[in-house]
């Protein structure tokens, strides 16, 4: 087996000491430099004759690969092309990605990754990460033990693929998500590619189409459930604690029931978080702060409605409540400022069928006394907009068109500048298009969306539509937590991340009604967010390492990996 070890030289640059030589080095995505192998390293590692005579630079390689990328005619082809490059040469992949973030993040991650998950068993080329299933879960510790560079693993993204994006159960295909998110940890936070580990818990699938697909790569059985499922996850977590003691764990795209249960079960046992719940909460909160800056109003003066009470919606409601409590409100006072709605309308005490994880946002049974309602048994979003005077509305329902003209107009009648965020993805699931919202409110609303939308031109003004993408938050949470060796990830670390992100949106963007910065600024944004997260962990006493607060910025900077080729030396490892 190829053996190597990374260390820093006297200038602080990465160097790999490599025990092997010859062709196999070209097959290792971390060590490979392809045509950019310098001539002296070709000699040193007996690569002579395996490469064209001209040694490229990284810049020429990026130009060559970008040319190839632009020749691909579909987004799925582009995805396959980039993934194949990542499997051959990670340094080149990240150099290319960082140079074209705006264009390539939607390929490497949403929306294209959704299709890549659906097509996983058809487009599978080369393996990445770890697959655990009922037949190997009892050997999980051996599997982890033999993983290359095990002790350096800092970030694990794990899914069981039951709640992939807006497309549900994707069985083993959900692996596209941990792979994509790991890539964003590298691109945005500069965590070293070898230190990120994607994991899929293949506990079966209830997706008939996959079960009947002869090319399907996952186990062909219905999903584990109940105790069997939780025992499986327990074994995984025990293995992580044992074998990856320095890792932060991100739960990703579990079904909403399991997402809440697993977060609660493990958040004090292992440094872990759920991006669908907490990351969504923080990024939406950042957008709300931005909108309030535009309006010149205070958080504590708002009345909120969260439409869609799943992972995202409850995450946002919790985040708003945490922030309101931080502003001096009691938990009850904060909760009273938030209406949470699911497919049966407002969640309230005594209502039929309220899932356990929504109960914390139940309003009192008589909350709508004195309101005029179309149907007293179900209080709809329109009822809330007409009667309560909500000033901030966020949509996580996945129901296209659910922010109707009537609802939006009703909001605008009650408040001067309604904040309306239709955050459901993909584009065809959006609760209302930004253009419609601006038209219906005569340009008074402040809008951001979950999917990318082009600028809206209305009555001579250009409105830029910010995208409430979790990528603004989770890489900074991960990096901040890693830097201080956080023992747990607290809700306040997410509040800090959201608040910092909002601070980093420039005045020019706010002037265009845009509450999120451009994706191309991802690294700079992540630096700020990570530093704030690290500082909050220290303040809250959850840091496992001693770091002087005034050294944090420097530490963040020094820890961010930049894709450039490291020198290779020969030696035993
Ligand atoms: P989820 O399945 O956990 O929750 C969806 C919720 O919507 C469910 O509770 C469901 O009961 C509710 N719902 C369904 N029909 C409804 C209706 N007619 N009226 C009211 N509520 C209804 O999914 P999730 O992870 O919370 O994601 C929901 C949507 O939000 C998806 O489209 C997802 O893409 C989007 N999302 C966006 C971001 C972002 O922009 N940053 C982050 C997370 C989720």
**Which residue CA neighbors atom 43 of ligand 1 most closely?**
312
pLDDT band for position 56 (cuts 50, 70, 90):
very high
Q: What's residue 93's pLDDT?
A: 98
CA dihedral 482, 485, 491, 493 (to 10 degrees): -60
Q: What is the pLDDT of residues 66-89, one digit of tens each?
A: 999 999 999 999 999 999 999 999
For ligand 1, the distance from its centroid to the CA atom of residue 151, given in whole angstroms, is: 37
- Pairing between β-strand 446-449 and β-strand 466-467 as defined by DSSP bridges: parallel
Contacts 24+ apart (CB under 8 A), 254-261: 254/159, 254/160, 254/162, 254/163, 255/162, 255/163, 256/163, 256/310, 256/311, 256/357, 257/355, 257/357, 258/160, 258/162, 258/229, 259/163, 259/311, 260/311, 260/314, 260/356, 260/357
Q: Tell which atom from ligand 1 comes closest to the C-alpha of 259.
A: 3
Q: Is 399 in the pocket of ligand 1 (CB under 6 A)?
A: yes
- pLDDT tens for 324-361 read 999 999 999 999 999 999 999 999 998 888 899 999 99
pLDDT(541) > 80: yes
d(CA 261, CA 239): 19
The per-residue pLDDT for 451 is 87
Atom number of ligand 1 nearest to Cα 314: 26
Instruction: Calculate how far, in angstroms, residue 384's C-alpha sits from the geometric centre of ligand 1.
Output: 19
Cβ of 429 below 6 Å from ligand 1 = yes
Query: How far is the centre of ligand 1, averaged over its atoms, from the C-alpha of 172 (Å)?
Result: 22
* Cα-to-centroid distance, 439 and ligand 1 (Å): 25
The whole-number pLDDT of residue 166 equals: 78
Distance of CA 9 to the CA centre of its chain: 33
Q: How far is the CA of 420 from the centre of ligand 1 (A)?
A: 15
- Whether 424 lines ligand 1, by a CB cut-off of 6 Å, is yes
% pLDDT > 90, the chain: 92
Rounded CA gap, 119 and 107, in Å?
14
pLDDT at 111 over 90: no
Q: Look at ligand 1, atom 31, and give the residue with the nearest C-alpha.
A: 424
Which numbered atom of ligand 1 lies nearest the CA of 309? 9
Quick check: 358 and 325 in contact, CB under 8 A?
A: no
Could you tell me the pTM of the whole model?
0.95
Q: Which H or E run includes 211?
A: helix 208-211
CB of 276 within 6 A of ligand 1: the answer is: yes
Does ligand 1 have an atom closer than 6 angstroms to the CB of 166? Answer: yes
Question: Is the C-beta atom of 249 inside 6 A of ligand 1?
Answer: no
Is ligand 1 within 6 A of the CB of residue 313?
Answer: yes
Q: How far apart are CA 338 and CA 363, in angstroms?
A: 9
In contact, 320 and 410? CB cutoff 8 Å: no
Copy the structure tokens of residue 373: 């309602």
Is pLDDT at 376 greater than 80 in this prediction?
no
90 Cα to the center of ligand 1, angstroms: 34
Catalytic residues: 109, 181
Q: Is 450 in the pocket of ligand 1 (CB under 6 A)?
A: yes
Q: Where would I find the beta strands (DSSP E) of 140-232?
A: 155-159, 196-201
Q: What is the pLDDT of residue 150?
A: 84
Ligand 1 closest atom vs CA 425 = 34
Instruction: Give me the pLDDT at residue 330, please.
Output: 97
Ligand 1, atom 23, lies closest to the CA of 310
What is the mean predicted confidence (pLDDT) over 206-228? 98
The encoded tokens of residue 46 equal 């007996």
């Amino acid at each position: 087996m190829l053996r190597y070890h990374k260390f820093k030289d006297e200038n602080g640059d990465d160097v790999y000491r490599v025990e092997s030589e010859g062709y196999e080095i070209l097959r290792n995505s971390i060590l490979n430099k392809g045509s950019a192998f310098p001539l002296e390293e070709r000699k040193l590692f007996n690569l002579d004759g395996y490469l064209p005579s001209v040694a490229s630079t990284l810049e020429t390689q990026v130009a060559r690969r970008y040319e190839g990328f632009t020749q691909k005619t579909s987004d799925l082809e582009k995805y396959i092309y980039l993934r194949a490059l990542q499997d051959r040469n990670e340094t080149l992949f990240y150099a290319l990605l960082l140079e074209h973030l705006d264009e390539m993040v939607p390929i490497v991650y949403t929306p294209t990754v959704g299709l890549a998950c659906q097509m996983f068993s058809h487009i599978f080329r080369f393996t990445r990460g770890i697959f655990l299933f009922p037949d190997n879960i009892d050997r999980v510790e051996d599997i982890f033990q033999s993983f290359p560079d095990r002790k350096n693993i800092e970030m694990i993204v794990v899914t069981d693929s039951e709640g992939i994006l807006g497309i549900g159960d994707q069985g083993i295909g959900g692996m596209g998500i941990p792979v994509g998110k790991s890539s964003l940890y590298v691109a945005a936070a500069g965590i070293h590619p070898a230190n990120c580990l994607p994991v899929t818990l293949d506990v079966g699938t209830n997706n008939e189409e996959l079960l009947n697909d002869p090319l399907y790569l996952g186990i062909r059985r219905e999903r584990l459930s109940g105790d069997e499922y939780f025992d499986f996850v327990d074994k995984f977590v025990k293995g992580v604690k044992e074998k990856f003691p320095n890792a932060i764990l991100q739960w990703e795209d579990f079904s909403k029931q399991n997402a809440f249960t697993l977060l609660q079960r493990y958040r004090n046992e292992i440094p872990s978080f759920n991006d669908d719940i907490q990351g969504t909460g923080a990024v939406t909160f950042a957008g709300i702060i931005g909108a309030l800056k535009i309006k010149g109003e205070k958080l504590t003066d708002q009345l909120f409605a969260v439409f869609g009470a799943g992972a995202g919606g409850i995450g946002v409601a919790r985040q708003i409540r945490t922030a309101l409590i931080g502003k001096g409100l009691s938990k009850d006072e904060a909760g009273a400022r938030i209406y949470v709605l699911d497919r049966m309308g407002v969640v309230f005490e005594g209502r039929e069928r309220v899932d356990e994880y929504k109960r914390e946002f139940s309003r009192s049974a008589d909350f709508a006394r004195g309101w005029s309602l179309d149907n007293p048994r179900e209080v709809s979003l329109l009822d809330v907009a007409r009667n309560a005077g909500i000033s901030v509305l966020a949509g996580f329902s996945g129901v296209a068109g659910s922010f109707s003209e009537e609802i939006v107009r009703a909001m605008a009648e009650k408040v001067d500048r309604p904040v309306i965020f239709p955050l459901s993805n993909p584009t065809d699931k959006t609760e209302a298009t930004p253009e419609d919202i601006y038209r219906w409110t005569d340009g008074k609303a402040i809008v951001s969306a979950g999917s990318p939308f082009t600028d809206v031109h209305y009555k001579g003004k250009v409105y830029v539509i910010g995208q409430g993408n979790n990528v603004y938050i989770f890489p900074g949470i991960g990096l901040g937590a890693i830097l201080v060796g956080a023992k747990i990830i607290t809700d306040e670390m997410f509040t800090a991340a959201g608040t910092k992100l909002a601070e980093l949106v420039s005045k020019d963007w706010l002037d265009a009604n845009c509450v999120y910065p451009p994706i191309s600024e991802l690294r700079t944004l992540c630096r700020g967010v990570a530093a704030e997260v690290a500082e909050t962990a220290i303040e809250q006493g959850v840091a496992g390492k001693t770091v002087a607060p005034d050294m944090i910025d420097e530490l963040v900077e020094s820890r961010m990996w930049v894709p450039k080729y490291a020198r290779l030396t020969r030696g035993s490892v």
